Every structure is written in structure tokens, then in C-alpha cells.
Structure 1
Amino acid sequence: MAIVNDYEVVVAGVAAMLEPYAERVLVVELDAGMSVSQDVDVILYDTFGQVQGDGVDLEDLVHGGRAKVVIYSWNVQPELVDRSIAKGARGYVSKAFTAEEVVAAVESVHGGDVVRPGPPADTSADAGPWPGREHGLSAREAEVIALITQGLSNQEIADRSYLSINSVKTYVRTAYRKIDVTRRSQAVVWGMTHGFSPDRVRILDPTGQ
């Protein structure tokens, strides 16, 4: 399996979460900002700071291989899940899932099933590290700061994250308070100096086996 996201801390965190289940799911590649280089069985695509729904370029992720794509996201609105599956994703997994539930979902997809997340669950669950967590930012607040750092407007963030514009404004306000900034330009500078710029790195055989 390969884990894909534009932030190294995110893919490394997901890999660490799955490491206890290495006898069931072997993570052989982590990619931040790069296409998967190996012909793996499954790609787990973490949506933190990423395009979602039918905007995901599955062909680019698979890069000519045979991998089945599983989306890993907080956003589990039925219409978003339906659009991802219709585009070709074989699984959609909630970040509220436990590590064992994620592994079971990946196994089911590998076995030929199409996996959906079920009804929305508790989104306060610990889904591994994300940029800014050590500064007190929630996963949602951190994602908004990541998208601000990428240069997106509030409306563009709402469109990409499938949040209402009012929700985005709330996350912006609470995030600004936590990182002690008052203007967007300050938030961009803070993000660029605190790990919120997308990475470009590939780690092969991250388990070291």
C-alpha cells in the first residue's frame, strides 16, 4: 500500500498509525506532492489540504498502475462519497475510524469490495498528527490554515473542503486566535514558517524492512 498527501507529517502519521497492523497491510511507499512510483495494490489518499470528491485525479494517483484508491477523509457527506465512488474510488474511509477499521476497509477493497464510511461518526477521534497540532490547532483549523497558505480564498476553501462559508470563517477566526495573527498575510507567513507549505518527498519502504 502507498499513502498519499501533500504533507509529509500527514503521510508519516498515517503510516505510524497503521504500523501495528503490518502483518495485514504493508505500507511500502509514502508520497507527499508526488505520484506513486510503484505498482501497489492500494493507495490510501488522505484529503488533508487536498482536492476532494470528483475533483480527485485518480488516474494521476494511480499513474498507470492497477492500484485501487481509498479516500481517507473527515468529509463523509453521502453526496461527496457517491461522487468519489462514481469517479472510480473503490473505498471511502472516515478519519473517525480506528486504525483497525481502516485496515479492515483496505483489506475489503483489496478483496474486491467497494467500501463506504457509513453514517457520520465522532470527528473528535485521534487520526494522527497534522501540521499545527502542536500549536493547538484542530484538524479542521489546520486544514484551513494549510489552504490559506496555498493562497486560496475563503470561498475556494469552502468549495474544496465541502464546508459552508460560515464554517470556514469560524475556523479562520478560531485558528487566527490560536496562532496569534489578525490578517491573512500574517497567516500565510505563519503557515510558511510552520510546516504548512506542501512538501515534495517520496519515501520508499518507510517501515525499513
Structure 2
Amino acid sequence: MVIRVALVNDYEVVVHGLDTMLRSYRDTVAVVELDAGTTVGESVDIAMYDTFANPRGDREEIRRLTANPRVGKVAVYSWNLDPSLVTAALSSGASGYLSKALPAGELAAALTAVHDGVQVRPARAEGRTSAIVGGDWPGREEGLSAREAEVLALITRGLSNQQIADRAHLSINSVKTYIRSCYRRIGVSNRTHAVLWGIEHGFRPTRQPGSER
């Protein structure tokens, strides 16, 4: 049996990157829909919600997906493995919480486990700072790491440093460090130029935060 999966995120490059990552496992996991800023329209076994630019995990989005009659189960895909976020996502209706440190084969196996009724949680040993293995994100071709790109996406959305720290479960000093490294990589010296760069390079989501799908 092939598991039918929809990939969900507000950034087109993210869902297409995940689709590419799973392409070698189509005999097990078939990505039948890519949802960037739209609701799941086909009947799928699993909606896989990538938390890029929503690092806390969007509980309302999880509830919306679980309430969709076309969706069998919901799996959250994130680099932020804070136990409180994992618990909150599962309490909101997700059937699994999958780490971005998983190689493609292990990710496909985890999706299979979710489909089979296993409540998949990240292994404790992975830790919150595990390297991100697959998928894609805006700015990757410019040398931005996934976490730098996420911080830049939140800057582009107009969030303050403190709001980014709260949303990403980072210290304010860590946020400032990511911002400085972002600036170096993209060749800007201030926030205004960083926002303009972000707008020009795909850091605006397909759907604006707070709008209905």
C-alpha cells in the first residue's frame, strides 16, 4: 500500500523541497498534493505540516488540518524538538512529530509508522539543535542555513527580535547572532535592507499570517 501525503507550508520552496526529498520513496510514500497557502483539497492519508517560519508549531493550523475530512492524520515536521512543542502539537490532534534531522528513508519510515497508528515522537538523543538533513528553504542557494532563513523570514514578516525569540524558543542573544550571520551572508547592514532583500528573494509567504486558507 502506498501512503498518500499532502505537504503543507506557506512557502512554495519548502513544500517543493520536501517533495524532492521524498522522490526516491514513491513506492511507499506518494506526495499527491503540495499546499502552499491553500487548504488540502484531495483525500490523503497524512497531511505533513512543515513548521518553517512557524517554529512554535501552529496549533490552529494543526486543528484545521485534523478537522479537514479529506485528511486522515496530521504529522508535524520541525527542527524545533522542544518537548513542550511536541506535547502541544500532539494535544492539538497531530498523530506524529517528526524531526528534520531524519534522512529521507527514515522520514518515509516515520510516515509509515504514523499511518499505521503509531504516535511518533522525536528521539530524545536528537536534541533541539540537530542538523537539518533534507527539504529546502528560501535563501539556501545564498548560503543561509535553515535557522538563519527562518529568522530572516520572521524579520521579513515584521517581527521584533523579542517576538522572534518567543516564537522560535531562542534566547534574545541567539536571535541577534542569527541576524548578524544573515546580514553577512546576504550582504546587508540593517533591518530595512534585510526586509527588502527578503521580499525580493522569496521570504514572503504565499499566505499572509492570520488570513484564512
State the 1:125 CA deviation. 4.1
Distance 2:151 2:125 in 1: 21
Structure 2 contact 7–49 (Cα < 8 Å) conserved: yes
State the 1:54 CA deviation. 6.1
- The 5 Å alignment of 1:158-177 reads 158-177=165-184
Partner residue of 1:134? 141
Please list every run of at least 4 consecutive aligned residues from structure 1 whose deviation after the TM superposition is greater than 3 angstroms.
Answer: 53-56
Structure 2 contact 66–93 (Cα < 8 Å) conserved: no
Which one of 79, 85, 90 corresponds to residue 85 of structure 1? 90
State the 1:63 CA deviation. 5.2
Q: Cα deviations across residues 77-104 of structure 1 (Å, max 9, x unaligned)? A: 1121111111111100110001111111
Partner residue of 2:73? 68
- The 5 Å alignment of 1:154-193 reads 154-193=161-200
The RMSD of aligned alpha carbons is 1.6
Partner residue of 2:39? 35
SS in 2 for 1:69: strand
State the 1:126 CA deviation. 2.7
Matched residues, number: 200
SS in 1 for 2:30: coil
State the 1:61 CA deviation. 2.5
Q: Cα deviations across residues 28-60 of structure 1 (Å, max 9, x unaligned)? A: 000111111122110111111126346342232
Distance 2:62 2:166 in 1: 19
Which one of 23, 29, 35 corresponds to residue 25 of structure 1? 29
**Bigger RCO of structures 1 and 2 (CA < 8 A, at least 6 apart):** 1
Task: For structure 1, list consecutive stretches of 5 or more residues without a partner in the other structure.
Answer: 201-209
Identity of aligned residues (%): 55
Structure 2-normalised TM-score? Answer: 0.88
Structure 2 contact 96–120 (Cα < 8 Å) conserved: yes
SS in 1 for 2:8: strand
Partner residue of 2:105? 100
**For residues 83 and 17 of structure 1, do their structure 2 counterparts lie closer, same or farther at Cα, with a shift above 3 Å needed?**
same
- Letter in structure 2 aligned against 1:144: V
